[in-house]
Amino acid sequence: MEDLYRDNIIDHYQNPRNYGTLEHPDISYEDSNPVCGDELRIDLQVKDGKVADARFSGHGCSISQASASMLTEEIIGKTLEEVKQIDKQYLLDLLGIPLGPVRLKCALLSLKVLKAGAYGLHGWPGEDEE
């Protein structure tokens, strides 16, 4: 079963969904993981309180890029309140493989960027726990 998840991660890394930027995003935030060198930006277009479109850009390891690809797929159509409720476990379940502490930071960068943008903050509740 874990091989299926690994294949999915490789697929999202090699064929990222929603890669790029939005011309006039309502929300845009970027951050990096200096330990691994991952850099990530997420742009959101919001209409009637829901994510109408989402894009990510940047570069990094397969885990960070696949995580961003999967996360942007998941949030399109959700309200900002629903986006704010997405937690670490939700994203880890999407990835489906166990991760060590260093890879965990790679995986969670997309969530950190998304939440910071959604909250309009430079940090998000629970960030220090990661």
Task: Tell whether 99 is covered by a domain.
Answer: yes
Output the average pLDDT for the chain.
90
pLDDT given for residue 114 in this prediction: 96
The answer as to whether 32 is a domain residue is yes
Overall residue count recorded for the chain in this entry: 130
**Is residue 128 one of the residues assigned to a domain?**
no
Domain at 95, CATH number? 3.90.1010.10
9 domain residue, yes or no: yes
Domain range spanning residue 72?
2-119
CA distance 45 to 62: 25
Number of domains comprising the chain: 1
Domain-embedded: residue 103: yes
Which of 1, 3, 31, 33 lies closest to 103 in space, CA to CA?
A: 33
Cβ-based neighbours of 120, under 8 Å, separated by 6 or more: 27
Cα–Cα distance between 124 and 50 in angstroms, integer? 20
The contacts of residue 45 (CB under 8 Å, 6+ apart) are 22, 24, 25, 26, 51, 52, 53, 54
The mean-pLDDT minimum among 54-68, 74-88, 109-123 falls in 109-123
Residues 97-120: what's their mean pLDDT?
93
Q: pLDDT digit string (tens) for 119-130?
A: 985 444 454 444
Residue 1 confidence (pLDDT):
60
CA distance 72 to 42: 8
